[in-house]
Amino acid sequence: MHETLAYLPQILPAYIAYLIAVASPGPAIMAIIGTSMTHGRKAGMSISLGIFGGSMTWAIAAAAGLATLLQTYAMALELLKIFGGIYLLYLAYKAFRAVRAGGELPTATEGPKTPSFRSLVLRGYGIHVTNPKAIFAWLAIIALGMPQGAPASVAVLIIAVCCTTGFLVFMGYAILFSTSHALKVYRNARRWIEGAMAGFYCFAGIKLLTSNI
């Protein structure tokens, strides 16, 4: 344990980098915000759980060296990029349909129908795990906090601390944007918010499809 703690000066910059990355708006955060405002706290926390699972998957993969494997087999990375871009465009289409539907926000007794726990978790997981940039972000964090020759326990500590923080951030967004004040803002600016989400997902999907990773 003492040997692991000796690497804290290297771990701290990696943690700060992760904290900035995880709290910054992106497809995952936008999904949490949109779901929490539309379907409430439980739904927002459900999709957050899926996103957290995707983050854990990439964290473990980065520590295990999967990024190097994906770089070796370029076709696998290319397919992952295409699938992720198409999935984001699909989310953009669904958000755009909500904008076109318009109308007043339904009351809790009449809709909108909340997706099942399973579908929300899978949606969150799909958003995060189909973004190949996430593994390179994790790879950079692991590399930054784990210098050459460091024991495996250092990687375990980085993943444990960062993933705990990520879980709290994701759930925090879900709780914050499911409050009565957030719902009031959503009711007053529903079309603008859903339009912004549609545009964001579309931009993110096209950027992912056309980027050189």
Output the pTM of the full model.
0.72
Residue 142 in contact with residue 62, Cβ under 8 Å?
yes
Non-local (6+) Cβ contacts of 43 within 8 A are 35, 36, 114, 115, 120
Please name the helix (run of DSSP H) or strand (run of DSSP E) that holds residue 173, with its range, or none.
helix 152-176
> What pLDDT digit, counting tens, does each position of 131-179 carry?
776 777 787 777 777 776 777 788 888 889 999 999 999 999 999 999 9
In the predicted structure, residue 111 carries a pLDDT above the cut 50? no
In the predicted structure, residue 10 carries a pLDDT above the cut 50? yes
> What pLDDT digit, counting tens, does each position of 41-94 carry?
999 999 999 999 999 998 888 777 755 555 555 666 577 677 767 867 877 887
Task: Tell me how far apart the alpha carbons of residues 160 and 208 are, in angstroms, rounded to a whole number.
Answer: 28
